[in-house]
Structure 1
Amino acid sequence: MESDLNSILLQLAIYVPLVCAIVLIFGKSLGETPIKGIAGIGFVFPAIVAIYLCFQFACATKDPSGYAFLSNFDTGLQASVGISLMLGLNGISMPLFLLAGLVGLAAGIHAIQSKAERLPLYLLLLLIMQGGLMGVFASVDIFFFYFFHELALIPTFIMVGIWGGQGRRSSAMELTIYLTLGAMLSLLGLIYLSTASDLNTYNLIELRKLVAEVPLSQVIQENIFGLLLFGFGILVSLFPFHSWAPRGYAAMPTGAAMLHSGVLKKFGLYGLIQVAAPLVPQGVAHWSELLVWLALGNIVIIGFVTISQRDLKQMIGYSSVMHMGYIFLGFATMSVIGVGGAVLLMVAHGLSVALMFMLATAVFNRTRTYDMHEIGGLGPHAPILAGFFVAASLASVGLPGFANFWGEFTVFISLWEKYAWAVAPAVLGVIISAVYGMRAIARVFFGEETEPFKKTVAEGKISDITMGERIPASILVIALVVIGIWPQSISTPINNAVTEISAFTETPTKVADTESETDKIASVQIQDEEDTTS
């Protein structure tokens, strides 16, 4: 009974935001207070369910594949094309499901308190994004994994076009071109994967069983992973397919930027780990070294570009692109500790970058500019805002005590074991992060007051952050600190799930050495038996 209840809650975490969005279609006739109340339900309920299921996961009954809270709804397409709405969580999807709930809650609270025009429509689109994001990480069927991503992605284009900042039209067009191309390439890879398996299903559990029994040929694996790598890579802003992200995030309204950069952008990385690696491990091995070089491009090249930014929101956008490199490096090592660190870093990065975008908007609302050279001295006028910004910046750098530290630390360890030559440029990225992060803090909050800022102060428009801003900021900071102090809360299920994937075990060299030693021992035992017999 308890297991059934948890499965129902998992389904409701997806359906409730979508139902609330449908109700808000009639927003004009409801009034402002009911609109905010309905939207609040749509954001609060998934977060509560995500936290509850996270605590229930350790003791939950799991099937042999490691999934808990499984449910299956026949869409009428199961018999013909093998598509069914199968939902569940394993050790990899559970932390990201929690991330979607927490960031969605923070973004929702911020949006409800905002003064956005056409607020019902704004909240409606955010709720659709929220429902889609919860569905992405709860889907066991690959078709619905992709479907929920598209459901969450489409509102992004609309929100940029309506509530976007300067250059929103060109940014919306660039977003549409890049993300549509990435989505199409990844869809081709997923279709190729399903058809190549010669099994009439998109069920990830069944696909894993089939591939374990009859692996796909090496050429097919390499081709499939190539499509998935570049398709998902575009969606994740892998270098050099990254240019859409900084401009897009700078143009997005705050709620959309928080949800997209914090959660939706993890779709591609999650797909590589959860879908590609178990089914096409030889393809991962074939492309891994190239992936290391591209990931270092994210870290070093984009890192220096980040340092050169004057616009605070653009700096955060480039920083988000830069830190994707560390997650790709962890994945490219094909080790349990590296991939586990990558998943942990996905969660930490999602929390910290969502917080940074929200705080950047808070700075803009008080200074009317994102240009760091035109602010200076905001700290004494908004000390609580300064404290949150310092905490977010230190978390992003990877300071011990925050979740980001454990993710980056484990990635560095795995990188040293597999690609030692890449450790130095990867560590250089940490220094680069510290430079632009500390510089932003110094210029915005503790620098000398500029003339435009003095005029704003004289007009009495500077105040500290409101309660509507403190609550979502506190949610994200608390999550970063809790995971930073108690990383086992999510790292243990992550490691258990990653260990079950054959691609992330021992390296081929070590396996070969082990087999060689086993053969030697066996031959010695046979020789001893022959000597004893004679």
Structure 2
Amino acid sequence: MNDTNSYFLLAAILAPILAGVILLFGARFDATTRRAVAAFGFGWPLIIGLMLYCLFEPTLVGGYNFELRLPTGLESIGIYLHLGLNGISMPLFILAGTVGFAAGLYAMYSNAERPHIYLALLLFMLGGLMGTFASVDVFFFYFFHEFALIPTFIMIGIWGGAGRRGAAIEMTIYLTVGALLSLLGLIALYVESGADSFSLLELRNYLTSQPLGDTIQNNIYALLLFGFGILVSLFPFHSWAPKGYAVAPTGAAMLHAGVLKKFGLYGLLQIAGPLLPAGAAHWFPWIVWLALGNIIFIGLVTLAQKDLKMMLGYSSVMHMGYAFLGLACFSVAGAGGALLMMVAHGFSVALLFMLSTCIYHRSQTFDMSSMGGLATKAPVLAGFFVAGSMASIGLPGFGNFWGEFTIFAALAESDLTRWIVAPAAIGIIISAIYGLRAVANIFFGQPSDRFAERLGNDSIEDLKGYEKLPASILIAGLVLTGIFPRFFSDDADRELTTLYSQEESHLPVHAQAEQPKVTIHEEESR
């Protein structure tokens, strides 16, 4: 099972953790040494991710590439360090490496106090993220998420903005409850399956030959839906996210909103949906209505925001609703659209959170009504922000478009879900209003009197090199996914077709005849 390439997968997890440990004891490092160690820790996972993508074997559908299974001392209770990548986890593995590299580049030149500790915690967070999406063992899937979550709380508590203590406490309460519910669901899934280990492959083998009863599926899926849902900021369990992101230091906001928040959706997509199809069908109405709450209710709340970071925080929560609708489609196209949405949203929200800090450094405020005319002094910053905003809205040419389009197409294919298209489309209009309004107020509007003084005294500069490079990397990810979505969707297509073929038999009878047979690739070709 273990080969040379599988150890590269392990190295992608250990490299940032090792670099973080070195930096923890690097108080006396000069800036050059500190950045060199950090660059290794942040860069290695991305390099390995791209290399493994090139070596990925699509013929192993239903299995994992680069499998590595190591003893942990907990084999008696079925826990192994079992790593691997399939067509669903590979896109998120690359997303984690890319956003982590961009966040690290920006953090290396930040003015944070005790920068060696700040970078170390960010590296620990990245190591946990790489482990989350590389884990085949469900226990380690959960463990690595918690490992990545702890530095988030610490970074908000130390380097967060005004109101960080209250936001950190609320975030801790919500995410602890969500984590406990999801842990109970995963343990119940393992116990009820009768499997000998927490390996997702073994769980699939057991539950394919002997599916759980409908009542058990309904109960376990409820634990996973609401546990993972809280972690993803599913309405109405969302209030922690905008406040947390508004006060979080930039690197933590980029990694959490861009990558770590995808943990819950990934768990529903990779684990809960395929293993508990009857439970997913039973909770279908709840998923739809709560997802529409994200899109419409949170969208309207986003419209009311004047603070840039709060607007971006609520916008991030709002767009998670589309991914949940994709999961509710009971189809390969819907699940694939959710996956594309997760990847594209990760790039765009990380970009916008980074740029919001760049704007603050030049305007000394997050109040959009106190800005205006910034494009005259920072045209490159304006260009990046406009691109990120257009991507978030779903403009063709960016990855978000394919995620939203595929989800809408999957919804329209079935009588059961066709009615959802109209209310969900309202979210696109709402996104366009607050996105274009933010662009106008910040860059092209009439500057306030106070901000006019800053514009007039030549104290505002355009983006510097260390800001342009991470922004360019994230834009490149959005454009690549927008122009060539098959970069991710081809392998995902094959895997999702295998995992979701059983979903159809659990649909309500009147919906089965209309269930879409198309794949993600076919939707992209329309």
**Contact map agreement 2:504 2:512 (CA 8 A) in 1:** no
**Mapped contact 1:190–1:228 kept (Cα < 8 A):** yes
What do residues 300-329 of structure 1 show as CA deviations (whole Å, max 9, x unaligned)? 000010011000010000000000000000
CA-to-aligned-CA distance 1:366-396 (integer Å, 9 cap, x gap): 0000000000000111000000000000000
Question: How far apart are residue 277 of structure 1 and its match?
Answer: 1.2
Please state if 1:265 is matched with 2:264: no
- Deviation string 1:89-122 (CA, Å, 9 cap, x unpaired) is 0010000000000000000000001111110000
> Residue 127 of structure 1 aligns to which amino acid in structure 2?
L
Question: Is 1:401 matched up with 2:400?
Answer: no
* Larger of the two Rg values belongs to structure: 1
Alignment equivalent of 2:369, drawn from 362, 365, 373:
373
The answer (yes or no) to whether the contact 1:498–1:504 under 8 Å persists in 2 is no
Corresponding residue for 1:83? 79
- 3-state SS of 2:126 partner: helix
Q: TM-score, normalised by structure 2?
A: 0.95
Amino acid of the structure 1 residue aligned with 2:93 = F
1:345 match: 341
Which position in structure 2 is the counterpart of 1:182?
178
Q: Which amino acid aligns with 1:493?
A: D
Matches within 5 A, 1:329-478: 329-418=325-414, 419-478=417-476
The 5-angstrom pairing of residues 80-119 of structure 1 reads 80-119=76-115
Q: How does 1:268-347 map to 2 (within 5 A)?
A: 268-347=264-343
Tell me which residue corresponds to 1:14: 13
Are 1:66 and 1:91, in contact at CA under 8 Å, matched by a contact in 2? no
Shift in CA distance, 40/168, structure 1 to aligned 2, threshold 3 Å? same
Question: 2:508, 2:95 → 1: CA distance?
Answer: 34
Match of 1:496 in 2: 494
1:193 aligns with 2:189: yes
Picking from 116, 123, 127, the partner of 1:127 is: 123
| Identity between Structure 1 and Structure 2 (%) | 58
Deviation, 1:457, is: 2.4
- Local SS of the residue matching 2:67: strand
Q: CA RMSD in A?
A: 1.5
Q: For 1:392-441, what per-residue CA distance to the aligned partner results, in whole angstroms no more than 9, with x for missing partners? A: 00000000000000000000011112311111111000000000000000
Q: Which residue of 2 aligns with 1:202?
A: 198
* Cα distance in 1, alignment partners of residues 494 and 59 from structure 2: 15
- For residue 72 of structure 1, give the secondary structure of its aligned residue in structure 2: strand
Give the Å deviation of 1:55: 2.2
Which residue is equivalent to 1:35? 34
Contact 1:61 1:68 in 2 (8 A): no
Pairwise CA distance, 1:461: 2.0
Q: Report the AA paired with residue 72 of structure 1.
A: R
Matched position secondary structure for 1:500: helix
State the AA in 1 paired with 2:310.
Q
**Counterpart residue number, 1:166:** 162
Q: How far 1:255 sits from its partner (Å)? A: 0.2
Q: Deviations over 1:247-282 (max 9, x none)?
A: 000010000000000000000000001111121111
2:62 is paired with a residue whose SS is coil
SS at match of 1:216: coil
Contact 2:374–2:455 (Cα < 8 Å) also in 1: no
CA distance in 1, matches of 2:163, 2:30: 32
Equivalent residue pairs, number: 510
AA at the equivalent of 1:130? L
The reply to whether residue 146 of structure 1 matches residue 142 of structure 2 is yes
Q: Aligned partners of 2:354, 2:154: CA distance in 1, in Å?
A: 20
| Conserved? CA contact 2:58–2:491, under 8 Å | no
- Corresponding residue for residue 69 of structure 1: 66
Deviates more, 1:131-140 or 1:16-25: 16-25
Q: Is the 1:339–1:504 Cα contact (8 Å) retained in structure 2?
A: no
**Alpha carbons of 1:68 and 1:505: their partners in 2 closer, same or farther (altered >3 Å)?**
farther
Unaligned segments of structure 2, at least 5 residues:
515-526
Alignment CA distance shift 1:513-1:99 (3 Å): closer
Note the C-alpha offset of 1:495: 1.1
- Give 1:504 deviation, angstroms: 4.3
State the TM-score, normalized to the length of structure 1: 0.93
Measured in 2, the distance between the counterparts of 1:196 and 1:433 equals: 43
Superposed displacement of residue 56, structure 1: 1.9
Q: Distance in 1 between matches of 2:339 and 2:404?
A: 11
Question: What is the distance in 2 between the residues matched to 1:512 and 1:28?
Answer: 62
Q: Distance in 1 between matches of 2:290 and 2:225?
A: 11
Residue 512 of structure 1 deviates from its aligned partner by: 6.9
Q: Deviations over 1:495-529 (max 9, x none)?
A: 11111113445756489769xxxxxxxxxxxxxxx
Deviations 1:44-93 (A, max 9, x none): 00011111212221x4663x633111010011211x10000000000100
The letter for the 1-side match of 2:418 is A
Give the secondary structure class of the aligned counterpart of 1:88: strand
Q: Which amino acid in structure 2 is aligned with residue 217 of structure 1?
A: G
The answer as to whether partners of 1:320 and 1:353 remain within 8 angstroms in 2 is yes
Instruction: Give me the whole-angstrom Cα distance separating, in 1, the residues matched to 2:494 and 2:450.
Output: 55
Tell which deviates more after alignment, 404-413 or 500-509. 500-509
Aligned-residue offset at 1:460: 2.9
CA distance in 2, matches of 1:208, 1:290: 25
Aligned residue in 1 for 2:46: 47
d(CA) in 2 for partners of 1:313, 1:479: 22
C-alpha separation in 2, matches of 1:465 and 1:389: 11
Q: Give a deviation string over 1:123-145, Cα, whole Å, max 9, x none.
A: 00000000000000000000000
The aligned residue for residue 531 of structure 1 is: none
1:5 match: 4
CA–CA distance in 1 between the matches of 2:395 and 2:4?
39
Q: After alignment, is 6-15 or 126-135 more displaced?
A: 6-15
The answer to whether the Cα contact below 8 Å between 1:97 and 1:137 also exists between their aligned partners in 2 is: yes
Gapped regions of structure 1 (runs ≥ 5)? 515-534
- 1:4 positional shift: 2.1
User: Corresponding residue for 2:524?
Assistant: none
The letter for the 2-side match of 1:13 is: A
Q: Please give the alpha-carbon distance, in whole angstroms, between the structure 2 residues aligned to 1:94 and 1:489.
A: 11
- 1:426 partner letter: A
Q: Indicate if the aligned counterparts of 1:223 and 1:283 stay in contact, CA closer than 8 A.
A: yes
